[in-house]
Amino acid sequence: MTEIPVTEILVTEVFSAIQGEGAHVGRRQVFVRLSGCNIRCSYCDQPEALELRAGPCRIEQTPGRRDWSNASSPLPVEAVARAVDRLWRAVPHHSVSVTGGEPLAQSGRLADLLALLPGKRIHLETNATLVAGLRRVIDLVDEVSMDIKLASVDGAGVDPETHRRFLELAATRDVAVKIVLGPGTSTEELSAAVGMVEETAPGSPVFLQPVTPFGSVSAAPTPEQVLEWHDRALALHPDVRVVPQTHKLIGQL
């Protein structure tokens, strides 16, 4: 008899929490945090999820209780889907947030996982650098929350043209754009990013997120800086909102 290969996926954690960023602030989601990221941002608050390698992972048993069951990653996609389903059924959730790390670093495996989650709204959180990966999963995703990385803030050096091509494809779904602002944000770079959204996906909201100090980042922008950047961005695109990382204020993961 031919053995059917099992798809395994590198996962860091599965849990239920309140979304703290962007368009769905305050909504309850099941989070699937996948392992591995293709870039390194100075403010990254998920250092344990950056490496694309096997290791320990944890699965919440009851939504919001943090009653973790420890396991070893990679896990079969069926096991991850069962973990999502258990949390989803116990409390009403708005959607499943697939996050990381960078979830598109495992786009083929992610497609296999998403195929096991029919009927659940899928929200993809991504650094918007892996266009081919997005193409692989786009039909299985309902909405995309994508970053535009500014070199003056994160130091990751992402080519703006990559973000543009990513947004073009993401705009075939509901898409929201997040831009992290630091004290050294270049106004020109921010204006170019917001102008690109207006040109490529004019109906999409842009969320400006003042950086939460973490790791090597020790300061947030001042209120005056944020107001100035908001003014500039609104002159280029009508739907620009400033939303900090609210989940940190209420002690969510």
Which residues bind to ligand SF4, rule: CB under 6 A?
A: 37, 39-41, 44, 46, 100-102, 127
Query: What's CA 34's distance to the chain center, in Å?
Result: 10
- Cβ atoms 160, 192 nearer than 8 A: yes
Report the nearest approach of ligand SF4 to the CB of residue 130 (Å): 11
Nearer to ligand SF4, 116 or 253 (CB): 253
Nearer to ligand SF4, 37 or 236 (CB): 37
Say how far apart CA 229 and CA 213 lie, in whole Å: 19
In the complex, the smallest distance separating the C-beta of residue 194 from ligand SF4, rounded to whole angstroms, is: 20
- Residues written for the chain: 253
| Beta-sheet pairing, 55-60 with 11-18 | parallel
Q: How far is the CB of 231 from ligand SF4 (least distance, A)?
A: 26
Residue 9 CB, nearest approach to ligand SF4 (Å): 16
Whichever of 128 and 196 has its CB closer to ligand SF4, that residue is: 128
Name the minimum Å distance from CB 11 to ligand SF4: 14
Looking at the Cβ atoms of 149 and 237, the one nearer to ligand SF4 is 149
Looking at the Cβ atoms of 190 and 211, the one nearer to ligand SF4 is: 211
Task: Kindly list the distances between the CA atom of residue 234 and the CA atoms of 196, 200, 201, in Å, as whole numbers in the listed order.
Answer: 13, 16, 15
